[in-house]
Structure 1
Amino acid sequence: MSRKTGLGRGLSALIPDNQQNEENQTTSRIQTDQQGTPDSSILEIATDDIKPNPNQPRTHFNEQDIKQLARSIEEHGILQPLLVSDNENGSYQLIAGERRWRAAKIANLEKVPALVRETNPQEILELALIENIQRADLSALEEAAAYQKLANDFQLTQQEIADRVGKSRTTITNTLRLLELPDKIQKSLDNNEITEGHARALLGLSNAEDMIQNLEVILSRNLNVRQTENIVKNQRLSNESHTEMENTPIKSDDNKLEINLPDSRHISVTLQRLFGTKVTVQRANDGSGTLTIHFYSEEEYEGILSRLIEEENHDNY
């Protein structure tokens, strides 16, 4: 299997090619600079002398996976050394391999093989981030938080971050934008109630209230990403329409001045949440008006009818 390229400086020069990963599967290695192999050595280090990386990008660990890995370690040992740095006080800081380290503790291993690397705080964060990205271990928000830390703590530009982790600057920008989501939506994303695609679609809305209202629609109707993109598009069109109506009086056929009563926008938003599509409400000063439910496909049309029937049946009970 060929190596995966483009992931910047990293672990390939530190880990022997004949080592397997903790799942006993062949993985690609992170490409290193062509300027030489970093100073490192393999030691057997007491498990309790290794301290976790406080800047570990990954914040969630699947306990069942780690227990399974512990059983594998009990049978086969650790096939790939951990990567650590020397704290020079008798302890070592973990850079990469926290799952193996956690599993080793469960398996009651007194010592573990580790590569000792001279490094600095920025490199520690970069290497931990690269390892997790390569193995697809990070959630979208964990990845975004790690990029933000590189930017804030080490004053790296988005392009510099992209170069280090082997991704495009646009990808870095879009991932960082997830941190702009309201806490409620971030929590739903972190709990896998919605996907990253849903979250990106919600970022198309201009305010947190609209985002959260549409999140409730997504969850209640189990919308897919494409459906979410449609309701976000409709919401934006509706918002633009309301802004235009608020700024421009509209004359009716009988020359009566139509106005938008204060509750029109609230009614529109409530109905949009109910039907998951654009709804416009226009009221005249004599109390008359129009309510329009928009649909853009046969699927949406059938969904609206189904929702209306559900509400009618509910009212009959």
Structure 2
Amino acid sequence: MSSNSKKRPALGKGLSALLESSQTDITSDDLSDASVLGSVALLPISAIEANPFNPRTRFEEDALQELTDSIATHGIIQPITVRKLGRNKYQLISGERRFKASQKAGLKEIPAYIRVANDQTMLEMALVENIQRQDLNAIEVALSYHRLIQECNLTQEKLAQQISKSRTSITNHLRLLKLPAKIQLAVRENEISMGHARALVGIDDGDFQISLFDRVIEEKLSVRDLEQLIRDDKNPAEEKQPNKKEEKPVVTEQQSDFTQEFSDKVAAKVQIKKQPTGNGKLIINFNSEVDLNRIIEILND
């Protein structure tokens, strides 16, 4: 396709008048002018630098090529978002896939919303924009949650409100960051699902955790298969004692499912301890006084 046949960004008629206006060329002296905020300008791609805060470091090559082909044929439909750094210098806030695809398509200019944001606001905007995408894997989402909490001083509750997710979902994702790097990489490579990862993260024995992960990969076990293995063999080093008159009470599948759901709800390890006589304990583990008070608040809701 020749450069003359490439589509210009689809921004509609009359845009040239806006682009020729001095109001769209924001300098450090006029950043306070509210009239430029949210405006759309056709910017040189060479004047835009990548966002160093973007947590997304990997892009599916086939999907990126499809977007490149679409842009080469139809142009940019949805503008990217940038912030002004100085005269003729911008930094990408969101829309990195569109930006990269436009570069691959050979475009010289790209439509962009111009915003003014300090570094923390920019980080928050980039992370929230990425979290709301459908194609992020669970580890990328967890890392974004972690950065928002740590670097933007958000609590899990405030984060849940801001991105319209349940606190339980946020907690479940954050727990994945406790997994060994080998298992986290498998989640990122889509070799195992988040369901597998959630089952593995509840195992305290690191060697047992890795051995089960290896079996999931080698035997292509489903999440239910993995959960059954965990129930049947919580401590593989403990040999079964045959000639005992009293067998250890079995935790049923329904009871095990309940403990898993309850554990997810309170974001803590939950255990059922049964005695041969029929009585027993439901145990909720906590790590500190603060953690205990957090669990009590959840149970009182």
Specify the TM-score bucket, using the shorter chain as the normaliser: 0.5 to 0.7
Q: Which residue of 1 aligns with 2:270?
A: none
Conserved in 1, the CA contact under 8 Å of 2:124 and 2:152?
no
Conserved in 1, the CA contact under 8 Å of 2:36 and 2:114?
no
Aligned mate of 2:43, from 38, 42, 45: 45
Aligned counterparts, 1:250-261, within 5 A: none
Shift of 1:97: 0.7
Q: Measured at CA, do residues 55 and 133 of structure 1 come closer, stay the same or move farther in structure 2, by a change above 3 Å? A: same
Shift of 1:45: 0.8
Shift of 1:122: 2.8
Local SS of the residue matching 2:39? strand
Question: Matches of 1:208 and 1:54 in 2, distance apart?
Answer: 34
Q: Which residue of 1 aligns with 2:154?
A: 156
Aligned mate of 2:55, from 53, 57, 63: 57
Question: Matches of 1:201 and 1:233 in 2, distance apart?
Answer: 11
Q: Which residue of 2 aligns with 1:192?
A: 190
Question: Matches of 2:162 and 2:156 in 1, distance apart?
Answer: 10
AA in 2 matched with 1:182: P
Aligned mate of 2:90, from 86, 89, 92: 92
Q: Measured at CA, do residues 89 and 39 of structure 1 come closer, stay the same or move farther in structure 2, by a change above 3 Å? A: closer
Measured against aligned partners, the alpha-carbon deviations of 1:27-81 in whole angstroms (never above 9, x if no partner) come to: xxxxxxxxxx993211111111111111112221012211221111111110110
AA in 2 matched with 1:162: A
Aligned counterparts, 1:116-195, within 5 A: 116-195=114-193
- Largest Rg, 1 or 2: 1
Question: Matches of 2:91 and 2:206 in 1, distance apart?
Answer: 40
Local SS of the residue matching 1:115? strand
Conserved in 1, the CA contact under 8 Å of 2:131 and 2:144?
no
Q: Measured at CA, do residues 106 and 76 of structure 1 come closer, stay the same or move farther in structure 2, by a change above 3 Å? A: same
Shift of 1:283: 9.2
Q: Measured at CA, do residues 223 and 118 of structure 1 come closer, stay the same or move farther in structure 2, by a change above 3 Å? A: same
Identity %: 40
TM-score using structure 2 length:
0.66
- In structure 2, the gaps of 5 or more residues are 1-10, 12-34, 244-249, 254-301
TM-score using structure 1 length:
0.62
Shift of 1:234: 2.5
Aligned counterparts, 1:223-238, within 5 A: 223-236=221-234, 238=235
Conserved in 1, the CA contact under 8 Å of 2:56 and 2:140?
yes
Runs of 4+ in 1 over 3 A off after TM superposition: 280-284
Q: Measured at CA, do residues 233 and 120 of structure 1 come closer, stay the same or move farther in structure 2, by a change above 3 Å? A: farther
- In structure 1, the gaps of 5 or more residues are 1-15, 17-36, 240-264, 269-279, 285-293, 298-317
Measured against aligned partners, the alpha-carbon deviations of 1:199-242 in whole angstroms (never above 9, x if no partner) come to: 00001211322210110111121110111111122233x37xxx
